[in-house]
Each structure stands twice: as structure tokens, then as C-alpha cells.
Amino acid sequence: MKIRNALLTLLFAAAPLAGCRGGSGDDIVIGVAGPLEKANGRSMKLAAQMAIDTINAHGGIDGRHVTLAWGDDDADPARAIEVARTLRANPKVVAVVGHVNSAASLRAATIYNAIESDSVQGDPVVEVSPASSSPQLTSAGDWTFRICPTDLEFSPALAQAAAQLGRRKAAVLYADDDYGQGVAATFRDAFARKGGAVVSNDPYLPTVYTAENTLDPYLQRALRNGADALVIGGQAAEGLKIIAAARRLGFTGPILGSDGLTGVKDGGAVAEGVFVSSAFLPDRRSDKAQRFVQAYRARYNEMPDHRGAMTYDVIYLLKDAIENGGAGRRQVRDYLARIGRDRAPFEGISGTIKFDANGDVVGKEVAVGVVRNGQLVTAR
């Protein structure tokens, strides 16, 4: 029933299927896959639509109108597989922006990269994730790219922030999924290099974490072990509950998390002062970034997060690839693979984009933000 519902909730741009592999009169269709109706997919969805509307207002891509094929994976890895099957089977889709959650991107990659068979229809199609940071995605396949850093880069920024705050004993609570496990492992190693130690390291299951005191025993043990910093590897909804529980139990030290915690800024007073590492902050000092932020705010009356900013970048990156390399799936993939190697890097609103041989972005900046007055701003 869950898979059936996933298929029923996929919304695809209406366009004829004839002549779909490059006919000059056809629309260009780009897939967008992620948790479109969840908090951590909202900015992705809004930024994607803004990018496409702007592109079409300026003549489209090579004079061709661009439409979006939406695929809502609900941040569920099983559902992401069905979204990927449907997007790949639609021959008009030239590339996919997505997915957002690392576990979803990893499962979907098995479909996008697969050799065509009875169970996987259509040619392979490139997926470009704007926000999946698990190191495991590095080996997902030749058709998988991402424009955000990995946890191997996010976690050292958090470790550096904790060390600069004079902290030496960290407690780590992490979602027991690909993303949370990556944050926990990479932070532990990075913090050790800074002279710190992880004094407790405990997983939680986001899908069952609802009771207020579920993690109290873990937090109480962390306090007994002398933890002077708390690191959360997970999403904002559970993160806010953990933060509230930690404060209720008397923890007064700094609380830090990787980019999954971005949404805690909307959590009210309890989130004030929380540190979050990110590949994009809305106050980024770049004219291009500030023009995007201003346009996004004017259109939606809210601030974009890193997922929205990097979704916007991916769509313009794909526009560049189609205009200069061609609209075929293989042409798009091969063009992306050469960016930063024998083609110039792409300058996006989130920074410089260039890929290594594995499709990982190289040298992307990582910032550390702090929640102040309900906004995530650069920590200085």
C-alpha cells in the first residue's frame, strides 16, 4: 500500500512523450525528487519553481520551455526507489535534482545507475543531490553527483567550532540512518584531532522518537560523563525535542549539529544559540547569493535554507549542461563529469562547483551558523 500511494502521489509535468529525446520543439523536463511536503523539502520545492519560472521568463533553454516532474519521496528510502523508477521510466526527464536525505539518495541511486532490465525501465539518468552528505554516496555510481560537501567536511567544521568554544568532552546523539551515522563517525574522528573526546555516542530512531523523555537516560549519562558540548546528527524536528530535553535536564553547554538541523531556527527560544554547519547561509557575502535571497524573500516572504539555494544552483547547472553539452541523458551526465576537470568550474550562489571522478563536489566551502533571533546567521 505504501508503494502504491507513493506512485499515486507523484506529480508529473504534463507534456507529450513523442520526440522526447531531443526534438527541438519539445519541452525540456527536469525531475525534482525529495520530501516535497516536509519541512526539509519546502525550500527545495520553492527554489526549484522559482528557478524554472525565471529561466522560462528569459526564453527557456535554447528556446525550449522547461517543466518540472515532481517526485515526493517523503524522506522514505523505500518510496525514493519508486520515485526513481518512475522518473527514470519517463523518457522526457533529462536529469533529476535530488534527493535530499542521504538514505533516500543512496537507495534511489541504485535505480538511476542501473543497467536497463525488466525491473528498471529507460536509460540511466543523472541525479544531482543538493544536500545529501553521507560519505557512502561517493561510490553510488557514475550517474550520481552532489553539490554539497560530505560529512567528512561538515564534521571538522563542527569540531573546530566546539574546540574554539573551549569544549573537550562531547556527547553525540544521532539518527540511526545513513546521515546520522555519518555525522557521528566523522565528528568523533575530527574532534579527536582537535584534542577532544566523545564521552557518549548514542543512536535514536526518528520514526519512533515521540515521547518527551525518550532520550533522557542517554542525556543523563552524558551529563554524568562530564559532557560540555552536545552534538546532534539528525533532522530539526527530533533535534528540537533533544535540545529541549537537554535544557530541561540542566545542560547549559553549547549544542551543535550538521546541516540537517537547519530548521531548528524556527523552533523558538529553545533553539537560540544552537550552532549548525552548512554549505550555504542566507547572509553569505556574495552579490549573486544576496540577489537570490532577496528574490526568494520577495516571492515567498521567508528565507531560503541551504537545500533551496543548492537546488537553485543544480537547476542552473543543468541549464548550463544542456545548453553547452546537449539535452540527451548521456550528454548531460558527461558534461557534468567534466566540470572542474577539463571544463571551467560553475559559479553558483552557494559557491564554486566542480566535481571529482566520483561526482563529489570539490573544495566547497562550509560555514558554521548560529541561531539568533530566529534566523541562522554566520557565527563570528
**φ, ψ for residue 61 (rounded to 5)?**
-110, 115
For residue 207, give its domain range: 151-278
CA count, 13 A, side-chain hemisphere, 219? 23
Grid cell of 233 as nine digits:
546528527
The percentage of residues in the chain with a pLDDT greater than 90, rounded to a whole number, is 87
Contact 40, 311 (CB under 8 A): no
Give 64's contacts (C-beta < 8 A, 6+ positions apart).
24, 25, 26, 27, 28, 327
**pLDDT (mean) for 164-185:** 94
Domain ends where: 241, 256, 278?
278
**Domain co-membership, 169 together with 261:** yes
Examine residue 377 and state whether it is found in any structural domain, yes or no: no
Q: What is the C-alpha to C-alpha distance for residues 90 and 12, in angstroms, rounded to an integer?
A: 9
Same domain, 115 and 207: no
Of 10-24, 169-183, 197-211, which one has max mean pLDDT? 169-183
Per-residue model confidence as pLDDT tens digits over 78-112: 999 999 999 999 999 999 999 999 999 999 999 99
Dihedral sign (CA 70, 98, 308, 49): negative
**Given 278, 304, 327, which residue is the final one in a domain?**
278
Domain end residue (candidates: 278, 295, 319): 278
- For the stretch 122-159, pLDDT in tens is 999 999 999 999 999 999 999 999 999 999 999 999 99
Instruction: Give the whole-number percent of the chain exceeding pLDDT 70.
Output: 92
380 domain residue, yes or no:
no
Q: Do β-strands 351-353 and 346-348 pair in parallel, antiparallel, or remain unpaired?
A: antiparallel
Average pLDDT over every residue of 361-372: 95
Residue 93 in domain: yes
**At 257, phi and psi to the nearest 5?**
-160, 165
Cell of residue 69, nine digits: 516532474
The per-residue pLDDT for 223 is 96
Q: What is the pLDDT of residue 158?
A: 95
Is position 232 within any domain?
A: yes
For 270-308, the pLDDT digits (tens) are 999 999 999 999 999 999 999 999 999 999 999 999 999
Res 22 pLDDT > 70: no
Neighbouring CB atoms inside 10 A of 60's CB total 16
**Structural domain contains residue 370:** no
Q: Quick check: 74 pLDDT over 70?
A: yes
Residue type, 344: A
Sorting pLDDT into bands at 50, 70 and 90, what band is 116?
Answer: confident
What is the predicted pLDDT for the residue at 25? 56
pLDDT of residue 367 exceeding 70: yes
Q: Note the pTM of the prediction, 2 decimals.
A: 0.88
Going by pLDDT thresholds of 50, 70 and 90, the confidence category of residue 205 is: confident
Is pLDDT at 16 greater than 80 in this prediction? no
Q: Which residues pair with 11 in a beta bridge?
A: 70
Q: What confidence tier does 191 reach under pLDDT thresholds 50, 70, 90?
A: very high
Say whether the peptide bond before residue 306 is cis (omega within 30 degrees of 0): no
SS (H, E, C) 254-285: CEEECHHHHHHHHCHHHHCCCEEEECCCCCCC
What is the widest separation between alpha-carbon atoms in the chain? 68
Q: Confirm if 66 and 60 have CB atoms less than 8 A apart.
A: yes
In sign, the C-alpha dihedral spanning 333, 334, 338, 344 is: negative
Of the candidates 318, 325, 346, the one whose C-alpha atom is nearest the C-alpha of residue 31 is 318
At 19 the pLDDT is 31
**Over residues 50-77, mean pLDDT:** 97
Q: Within this chain, do residues 143 and 267 fall inside the same structural domain, yes or no?
A: no
* Residue 350 in this model has a pLDDT that exceeds 90: yes
Nearest to 105 by CA among 88, 120, 84, 86: 84
Q: Which three cell numbers stand for residue 47?
A: 527554489
Contact assessment for residue 48 and residue 95, using Cβ atoms and an 8 Å cutoff? no
- Assess if residue 374 is contained within a domain: no
* CATH at residue 225: 3.40.50.2300
**Cell reading at 192:** 579527536
Do 137 and 169 lie in a common domain? no
Number of domains present in the structure of the chain: 2
Please write the tens of the pLDDT for every residue from 237-275.
999 999 999 999 999 999 999 999 999 999 999 999 999
pLDDT for 211? 57
Q: Tell me if 348 sits within 8 A of 313, measured CB to CB.
A: yes
DSSP string, 328-363: SHHHHHHHHHHBTTTBPPEEETTEEE-B-TTS-BSS
CA 56-61-67 angle, to 5 degrees, is 55
Q: Please, what's the b/e burial string for 85-108 (b: 16 or more CB within 10 A of its CB; e: otherwise)? A: bbbbebbbbbbbbbbbbbbbbbbb
Which range is least confidently modeled, 10-19, 175-184, 213-222, 237-246? 10-19
Please indicate, yes or no, if residue 371 is contained in any of the structural domains. no
Write down the mean pLDDT value for the chain. 91
Q: Are residues 199 and 142 in the same domain?
A: no
Regarding whether 210 and 128 lie in a shared domain, the answer is no
94 and 160 part of one domain: no
Considering the domain architecture, whether residues 214 and 322 belong to the same structural domain is answered as: no
Same domain, 134 and 155: no
The answer, yes or no, to whether residue 210 has pLDDT greater than 70, is no
Co-location of 9 and 82 in the same domain: yes
What does the pLDDT read at residue 209? 54
* Residues 128 and 141 grouped into a single domain: yes
- To the nearest 10 degrees (0 to 180), the angle between helices 236-248 and 216-224 is 50
Inside any domain, residue 372: no
What would the mean pLDDT of 334-342 be, rounded to a whole number? 96
168 and 246 together in one domain: yes
User: Using 50, 70 and 90 to split pLDDT, how confident is the model at 214?
Assistant: confident
